[in-house]
Chains A and B, each alone.
Chain A
Amino acid sequence: MIRHIRRAAAFCLLLLVALLVNAARVQLFEAGELDDNPANRRDAIARHDQPRGDILVGDRPVTGSEDTGEQLGFERTYLHGPLYAPVTGYASQTYGTTLLENAEDGVLSGTDSLLAPLPFWNEFTRSRQPGGDVVTTVEASMQRAAYEGLRGRRGAVAALDPSTGAILALVSTPSYDPERLSGTGAAVTDAWTRLNASTTMPMLNRAIRQTYPPGSTFKIVTAAAALDSRTVTDADAATDTPSPYVLPGTRTTLPNEAKGCEEASLADAIRVSCNTVMAHLGVEVGLDGMVEAAEKFGFNDAGLRIPSGVARSNFDTDMSDDQLALSSIGQFNTTATPLQMAMVASAVANGGDLRRPHLVDRVTTDDGDTVRQEGSGASAWAMSPSTAVQLQRMMVEVVENGTGSNAAIDGVEVGGKTGTAQHGVDNSGLPYAWFISWARAPGSGRPAVAVAVVVEDASADRADISGGGSAAPIARAVMEAALDEAEAARR
């Protein structure tokens, strides 16, 4: 009997060991996996247990947090929701985060190790720091100028500081108020459903997530390729381009909207926007040269982060000559985000030196101590400095004596390029109105700003649509705001 009791006791010990081993399995070895399970609400509860860090424009927060007293305590609030939505994105208890709220979530929610007093502190103590702040490079006055200029039409504006790559304005309209997605419940899901069902796609960030055929604004890239590859050595010399131009290997003719394009020089072709000359030049540069030039400006790069991902702007790498001709004037499969076209203008303005665009200036702790400083973006040569100088001259001509006169600002050197991009089946859709430009304040060595504007539904009257008519005034307003900022900074 004693022996059997001991064996029964050993059996009970076995049960205990099984329990302890299993407890270690669940609580230690599988804990990470269980913690990260999307259905586990603990992370969400902890995340909303403290105020979220703020996103700042200039030195003012454009976000806030409010305690709702529910299980998920703090909800995101937005000061000028629709205006800054393309910058901030939303931080929703129901739908997660996007854009800057997503890219800098670790800082804003306090888990980023940058904020911790010691390395690995957060990991070890499983704790959070108070949410840190993200200071953006955006200039409030320029953002507002762009937003008001678009007047709710479908379109986007991207503005850069050419010498640093800082994004000064990032606007997409029509916009939405991210605050309506902050919480949980029926109101939020209704708003979400409505916003997603809306035909105007208010939640689409057109400035970095939508690509458009760039139309004639792409001619700047083609011109850079022609000059860099020495296909054109003298921008003012006539080119042997017939008008209309027959696309190589086809019987399709390419007409011009503009007058005086027959055998026009490169400079004139840019000034009045000749399709024939630029298409022909693209073919002469050749596929490899055009692809190389486009990629130096940032086309075909799916990896650009500002820190949010930017949609890939496309320039086909495998085409016949007729397709290359169309691609070289921003048609066929060539597409670009507004930010990409702002980068093109920025590279020209900055003497060929293209700075990588970035939206975050610095990251600070809750107390305002800077823990990460972006500085200026990495630079790469998009074209030779001499090419850039020639292109600057041509772009100034566009504004002073060409299609871009609507962007002219008194006493300021402004360079620009208009674009009207056909799209849709047989080009039946309303063309997109494009304008890219840059401005240099008088007496200043550095360009103040580079802007790209696209307006999707410029107006009902097709004849009236042109980059110069719809988009250039918006670009001018943004550049004026930038110049005022620079003026104020100098004083």
Chain B
Amino acid sequence: MTATTADAPPPELRLPKRRGVELALLVGAVLISVFGYAAVGLTHDGAVPPDVAGYGGGLGALALLAHAAVRFRAPYADPLLLPIAVLLNGVGLVLIYRLDLETPRDQAAPTQLVWSTLGVALFTAVVVLLRDHRVLQRYAYLSVAAALVLLTVPIFFPAVNGAKIWIRIGGLSFQPGEFAKILLAVFFAAYLAANRNALAYTGRRAWKLQLPSGRVLGPIVAIWLLSVGVLVLERDLGTSLLFFGLFVILLYVATGRTGWIAVGLLLASVGAFAVGSFEPHVHGRVQDWLDPFASIDAGRGPGQLAQSLFAFAAGGMLGTGLGAGHSILIGFAAKSDFILATAGEELGLSGLTAVLLLYALLVARGYRAGLALRDPFGQLLAIGLASILALQVFVITGGVMGLIPLTGMAMPFLAQGGSSVVTNWIIVALLIRLSDVARRPHPEQVETGVVAAAGEADR
């Protein structure tokens, strides 16, 4: 626990930076990933993979690079964010490498490692270049415009597995919708921070609900239409759910009006029901959720969801052990949407719970930064980014485990998918910046002697 002090604040206000803790946790995160990598090799070939040192060194170098950026540019940042991101990314690489063993002709781990490197590089760039998150507020409308462009471009590209969410240029393909999440979070946070009071206190009262006025209702309806539009045109139920959930959460946090939630849920369910009934691709997903084993009874063999449930069931409490499961039976999406099934089968309920709790910690730390921040934009941005993670984890985990209809979406950091990894590294970079601002000692603290909400203060 070495709390280095860069600029000596007054002694009675020596706020801990916790960079040493972060470093120790990073070492642990890298070691866990390396052990996982070795375990896969031992199970599969009876020997530790020859390049285990290279893998450990590579992941360690990425972690150190990110850590250096945080240490020098965001010294007060929350020490848990980066180690959790590194651990999840490392475990994801191990799981993908493990699945690559079953598909010799289709290697995904090296590509994923390249994308992870790019993600860490962008993380470093954001931490280094973005000194103050409030800069982003200025670009709110630019963000939303860019997000809309990114979302609509894939419509002009061919569909992949029934969803039009890809842009293919040459050999590279990426999902612009992933980046749109961040841009939309920035826009929502900025828009709501600016219009909080107008949204909360104008408009008519009907019975006990404070209804919004038409002028501020406009953008909301627009957003709703946008998400349904995405759903219909791109058949991407997950992203539309995410946008909508994100918007409703931020709207509630900004205005505190429960009426909004009621309206939001109503609109969402109407939209979801309509699309679920009339859009064949989505309708099929809903049918599959209602009865995952229908295809078996019909003699067509188990579908992906059934295979996924089989994998989770095979894991039981303790799992089969890394490299000893058969989650490859799920088929083509085993490394991406269904990566969690491999975790569930080979690490068991215990391992799956650990993974989910890592995400929960990440989300909780985002919320904690939001609580400690003082400007509405920062608060809403922190909550928005944390909620994106939370909703993504819920939508995809619930989907592959039969809790909700399955939607194509990548598990943050874990799943194969370059756009997703890069986007999530940027989200963590923004959270690092936000938590750094939140925990930084304020000048007025020195004057009044009030200790601000540092990360340690439990409120």
Q: Mark A residues whose CB is within 8 Å of B.
A: 1-9, 11-13, 15-16, 18-20, 22-24, 26-28, 30-35, 37-42, 45, 126
Q: Chain B interface: which size bin?
A: 35 or more
Q: Are B309 and A23 in contact (CB under 8 A)?
A: no
> Cβ of B121 < 8 Å from any Cβ of A?
no
Residues A39 and B312 in contact, CB atoms below 8 Å apart: no
Which secondary structure dominates where chain B touches chain A? helix
Residue contact B363 to A4, C-beta cutoff 8 Å: no
Interchain CB contact under 8 A, A1 and B256:
yes
Among listed B44-52, B174-182, B268-276, B364-372, interface-contacting one: B364-372
Interface status of B281 (Cβ within 8 A of chain A):
no
Write 11 A-B pairs (CB below 8 A) sorted by A numbering: A5-B371, A15-B391, A16-B359, A16-B394, A18-B398, A23-B349, A23-B401, A28-B316, A31-B314, A37-B293, A39-B306
User: Taking the nearest CB of chain B, how far is it from the CB of A219, in angstroms?
Assistant: 51
Partner of B364, one of A9, A23, A39, A41: A9
Give Cα distance in the complex from A32 to B310, angstroms.
10
In contact, B313 and A5 (Cβ under 8 angstroms): no
Q: Which of B254, B296, B376, B401 contacts A39 (CB 8 A)?
A: B296
Bound CA span A7–B310, Å = 36
- The secondary structure that dominates the A interface is helix
Q: A12-B387, A18-B403 are in contact. List 13 more A-B contacts (CB 8 A).
A: A4-B253, A9-B367, A11-B249, A15-B390, A20-B353, A22-B401, A22-B402, A23-B349, A23-B401, A27-B316, A31-B313, A37-B296, A40-B310
The 6 closest A-B pairs by CB, nearest first: A34-B313, A31-B313, A39-B296, A15-B394, A39-B302, A27-B349
Contacting pair A16 B316 (CB below 8 A): no
- For residue B74, CB closer than 8 A to chain A, the reply is no
Which residue of A has the minimal Cβ distance to B389?
A: A12
| Chain B nearest Cβ from A122, distance in angstroms | 14
Residue B140 interfacial (CB < 8 Å): no
Tell which of B326, B349, B397 touches A28, judged by Cβ atoms closer than 8 Å: B349
Known contacts A5-B371, A15-B394: does B296 contact A24 (CB below 8 Å)? no
Tell me the bound Cα distance from A27 to B343 in angstroms: 12
Q: Is B301 among interface residues, defined by CB-CB distance under 8 A?
A: yes
| CB of B412 within 8 Å of the partner chain | no
Contact at B312–A40, with CB atoms within 8 Å?
no
Q: Are A12 and B314 in contact (CB under 8 A)?
A: no
Cα A439 to Cα B25 with chains together (Å): 83
Assess whether B352 is interfacial by the CB under 8 Å rule. yes
CB pair A3–B256 under 8 Å, yes or no, is yes
Q: For A34, list chain B residues within 8 Å (CB).
A: 309-310, 312-314
Contact B370 A5 (CB under 8 A): yes
List chain B residues, Cβ under 8 A from A4: 252-254, 256
Would you list which residues of chain B between 321 and 345 have a CB under 8 Å from chain A? 326, 329, 344
Question: With a CB–CB cut-off of 8 A, which chain B residues contact A8?
Answer: 249, 252-253, 367, 383, 387
Which residues of chain A come closer than 8 Å to B256, judged between CB atoms? 1, 3-4
A18 to B379, CA, bound (A): 26
Look across to chain B and name the residue whose beta carbon is closest to the beta carbon of A19. Answer: B397
In the complex, whether B360 has a CB less than 8 A from a CB of chain A is yes
Residues from chain B with Cβ under 8 Å of A26 in the complex: 309, 312-313, 344, 401-402
Partner of B344, one of A1, A18, A23: A23
Q: Say how far A411's CB is from chain B's closest CB, in angstroms.
A: 63
Contacts of B252 on A, CB cut-off 8 Å?
Answer: 4, 7-8
B36 at the interface (CB under 8 A from A): no
A37, B329: Cα distance in complex, Å: 14
Q: How far, in Å, is A33 (CB) from chain B's closest CB?
A: 8
Digitize B345-385: 1 where CB-to-A-CB distance is under 8 Å, 0 elsewhere.
00011001100100110011001001100001001000100
